[in-house]
Structure 1
Amino acid sequence: MSVTAAAETTDAALSLAERAYRELRDRLIMLDIRPGEPINDGQLATALGIGRTPVREALKRLEMDHLVVSYPRRGTFATIVDITALADVSELRRVLEPMAARKAALSANAAMRQELSVLAEDIQRLDEQGLGKAADLMRYDLSVHRSIYHAAGNPHLEETLIRLDNLATRIWCLVLDKVPSVTGHITEHVRLLKAIVDGDADQAADLALEHISSFEETIRKVL
């Protein structure tokens, strides 16, 4: 095998591992894989149409994200949703979410601002037409947050916030059937996205903090 072929194989393996990671991560976040459920890497590999090696690599990353846990001689399981972690997660998000929104408003390039603008229009259109199922709306929520984190331009901040948002979303999904409506939580993003697009850093930071505080308040009311 040539050096070039070997490099291509490595890239392909990494690409498959990333694909497996993102697919499994979002299934775990949305509780499509239920908390405490055993995870069989062979079955997952078959379901995803890839080999077991990239799935195992993905599971190692997911364990670092506190989304799965492995026990010797017992196997790997989806972690239990720890509602008591809400305070710790929210404490960090109240500091970092406004920072990301501010940085995005100041440094996002034209393409990123266009992407955020389209997201705002999509949410506004959904609101006018009647928002869909709660689980689908939570996927929109994930998309908005990840787009803002990326627009902030700091990969370390982005990685940290994605992990925190993933944990927060799992808590939200656990009590989703008890929340009267997630409509307001989703439509709050419109003003936040527009502030970032307009470059209004102070407004973006204030709205991000308001959004996180509203999330925590809503969860505590139903617990």
Structure 2
Amino acid sequence: MAQRIPLPIKAWGRAVWEGAEIGADLSSAYLTEDTKGGLFYRWTAPQGVTLRPGIATQLGEGGADRQAQTTDLRQQFPGATTHRKIEGVWSDDAGEGLWFTHSTVKDSEHPEAVANQGMIMDYSFAEQTMTLKESWAVGSDFDAPDNITVSPWGGVVIAEDGSDPNHLAAFTERAGSSALAKDIAERGEWAGPCFGGGRALFANIQSDCTHMITGPMAKQLHR
């Protein structure tokens, strides 16, 4: 296998990036920022540029002529987007939008916001709006949602990066949040959930290893 040296996409700028997804139009990127006060961004490609493999080379050295506007999308939804940081992001299978997560909000940090242990959001490409789908109340079983992925059945799986024991949580608008898996050994955060062949769920416990999870998940994740 030929050695490949990764190239930065300099036109996206520097930030504490966490997640990135490409819009259905292949001309926009949606980025989350994993830092206190982090933002949710949309980057729009210069005219004639398509976001495809090799994009870092296509954008060159990121000079002023290749830059494009980056928009802070939380301005469209100022109340519920007061947060500690924004983390995972994943497109839905229909190409209509994407899901992303907010970490914890505390009263002492943002007195104007409702204290919570994390939020799950939906962003519509067509309407360019955000919708709050779930808020984990203080004292609930889950806290600090991190990575997120869309299941083959339409529901989403969220990796918990909070207080032990951490979970992989299932969420559907029909049934709300429920525990899909639990790390009883309390080894730290779950990360990187994704579905592979045969509808198996792969996920990492960050301090340990990658797990393949199979079983009757459809009932919990059917939208």
Normalising by structure 1, report the TM-score.
Answer: 0.26
If each structure's helix is expressed as a fraction of its own residues, which one has the higher value? Answer: 1
Whichever structure has more strand as a proportion of its residues is 2
TM-score (structure 2 length as normaliser): 0.26
